[in-house]
């Protein structure tokens, strides 16, 4: 382990707010040990960096990625040609690109045959450089449901419970249950509820019984309500939120992970001929649900709901390493710069249950992103990786 590092005289976004004035941050080992006025560090003799005109913030946290997915126009077709070794190497490459893009922690919300678990374990042990990874393992879905081609298909209360136990046995950090149809699976509608209320309750209860957090792909209204009533920890996407959904999420403290980048990158690349073409059925569904998605997130945000940043990285043209684009998309949809920063740091750590992450304060992990300028004024300072000045993971400069 190298000696202490001092980041001097930077603006600070501490995970919740911009601090007044400039401050210096001392990193010792893998932790932040002191934050204060630069005068407190008089006589410091270790490595130091002048951060004047820059902002120091916690490393970004992406609560919805797919490390095994290639982000080509048709990631599913790519996956059909890949074996376990290729999935493993793809996941490692994508994890490292993610870290270089300023994201120091991720939730993998659905992999392939647990290959991402090996990558997670090797990175979390420090054998490879990469972000902290929490992984769900196989998504759990009904027969013919969204993701059934590579998920754990389970039908009925008892089978859903067994599927959850299988993910726990395999070593998952969270459990992901598919409450509705989705965009990327042919022949299913995002509006349709898939699991019944009873099946959702069974899966969420079993996961919580063994201290695992839960996430639900939930796009249509009925499925969203089924997931909320079951006690889900986060709704992923949340395309067709009604006022009833919003009220119940506020009451339960349920997080929403919007994943603006998923729809945005599909629609922006609908005519892209570079590599595999996005399947027509995917484009058609995205065009159908896009306006509803934006309206739902605006309404939930206006109501004061809990939001955490997530990108769905790995889906078509949604590249690992470009995760920070999501902050621009959040702000474009009416979220303030400071709230977008909070959703992408402190809130992400809170949703994941990452202790001592997501804040710039003593005792926190030294997972740090330094950017040019002031992102509370110009979100591009974070959203555009060209404006990133430094990434640190566990006290090491990446």
pLDDT at 319: 98
Residue 175 reports pLDDT greater than 70: yes
Residue 2 reports pLDDT greater than 90: no
The residues, any chain, with a CB within 8 Å of residue 211's CB and separated by 6 or more, are none
Q: Return the SS3 of 140.
A: strand
pLDDT at 188: 95
Q: Return the SS3 of 386.
A: helix
Residue 275 reports pLDDT greater than 90: no
- Number of C-beta neighbours around residue 149 at 10 A: 13
Query: How many whole angstroms separate alpha carbon 237 and alpha carbon 300?
Result: 12
Query: How many whole angstroms separate alpha carbon 183 and alpha carbon 138?
Result: 18
pLDDT at 325: 98
Question: Once rounded to an integer, what is the mean pLDDT over residues 264-278?
Answer: 92
Question: Once rounded to an integer, what is the mean pLDDT over residues 163-183?
Answer: 98
CA–CA–CA angle 205, 208, 210 (5° rounding): 115
Residue 1 reports pLDDT greater than 60: no
pLDDT band at 122 (very low <50, low <70, confident <90, very high): very high
Tokens in use for 41? 């560090």
Task: Pinpoint the alpha helices (H) of 36-156.
Answer: 75-80, 84-100, 115-124
User: Residue 149 — φ and ψ, nearest 5°?
Assistant: -65, -35
pLDDT at 312: 98
Q: With CA atoms as reference, report the closest residue to 345 among 359, 356, 333.
A: 359
Query: How many whole angstroms separate alpha carbon 92 and alpha carbon 288?
Result: 34
The sign of the dihedral angle between the CA atoms of 85, 91, 95, 96 is positive
Q: Return the SS3 of 41.
A: helix
Question: Once rounded to an integer, what is the mean pLDDT over residues 187-209?
Answer: 97
Mean predicted lDDT score pLDDT of the chain = 97
Query: How many whole angstroms separate alpha carbon 19 and alpha carbon 35?
Result: 11
Q: With CA atoms as reference, report the closest residue to 60 among 309, 237, 364, 354.
A: 309
Question: Once rounded to an integer, what is the mean pLDDT over residues 243-264?
Answer: 98
Q: Which domains does the chain have, with CATH numbers?
A: 5-58+359-397 (2.30.40.10), 60-323 (3.20.20.140)
Question: Once rounded to an integer, what is the mean pLDDT over residues 46-71?
Answer: 98
pLDDT band at 274 (very low <50, low <70, confident <90, very high): confident
pLDDT band at 273 (very low <50, low <70, confident <90, very high): confident
pLDDT at 359: 98
Where does residue 158 rank: exposed (0-12), middle (13-18), buried (19+ CB within 10 A)? exposed
């Amino acid at each position: 382990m190298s000696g202490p590092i001092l980041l001097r005289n930077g603006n600070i976004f501490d995970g919740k707010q911009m601090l007044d004035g400039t401050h210096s941050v001392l990193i010792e080992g893998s932790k932040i040990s002191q934050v204060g006025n630069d005068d407190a560090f008089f006589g410091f003799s270790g490595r130091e960096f002048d951060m004047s005109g820059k902002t120091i913030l916690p490393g970004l946290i992406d609560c919805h990625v797919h490390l095994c997915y290639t982000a080509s126009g048709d990631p599913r077709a790519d996956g059909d040609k890949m074996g376990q070794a290729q999935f493993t190497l793809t996941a490692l490459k994508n994890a490292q690109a993610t870290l270089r893009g300023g994201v120091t922690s991720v939730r993998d919300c659905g992999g392939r045959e647990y290959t991402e678990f090996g990558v997670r374990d090797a990175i979390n042990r420090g054998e490879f450089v990469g972000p902290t990874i929490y992984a769900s393992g196989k998504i759990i879905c009904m027969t013919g449901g969204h993701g059934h081609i590579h998920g754990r298909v389970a039908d009925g209360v008892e089978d859903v419970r067994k599927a959850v136990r299988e993910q726990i046995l395999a070593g998952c950090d969270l459990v992901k249950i598919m409450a509705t149809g989705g965009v990327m699976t042919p022949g299913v509608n995002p509006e349709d509820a898939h699991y019944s209320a009873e099946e959702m309750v069974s899966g969420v209860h079993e996961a919580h019984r063994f201290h695992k957090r839960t996430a639900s792909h939930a796009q249509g209204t009925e499925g969203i309500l089924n997931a909320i009533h079951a006690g889900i920890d986060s709704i992923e996407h949340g395309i067709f939120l009604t006022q009833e959904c919003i009220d119940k999420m506020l009451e339960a403290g349920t997080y929403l992970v919007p994943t603006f980048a998923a729809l945005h990158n599909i629609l922006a690349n609908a005519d892209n001929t570079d590599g595999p073409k996005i399947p027509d059925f995917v484009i058609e569904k995205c065009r159908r649900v896009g306006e509803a998605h934006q309206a739902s997130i605006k309404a939930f945000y206006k109501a004061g709901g809990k939001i955490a940043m997530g990108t769905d990285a790995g889906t078509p043209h949604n590249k690992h390493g470009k995760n920070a684009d999501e902050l621009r998309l959040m702000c474009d949809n009416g979220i303030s710069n400071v709230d977008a920063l909070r959703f992408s740091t402190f809130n992400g750590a809170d949703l994941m249950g990452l202790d001592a992450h997501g804040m710039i304060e003593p005792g926190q992990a030294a997972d740090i992103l330094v950017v040019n300028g002031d992102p509370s004024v110009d979100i591009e300072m974070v959203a555009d990786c060209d404006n990133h000045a430094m990434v640190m993971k566990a006290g090491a400069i990446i």
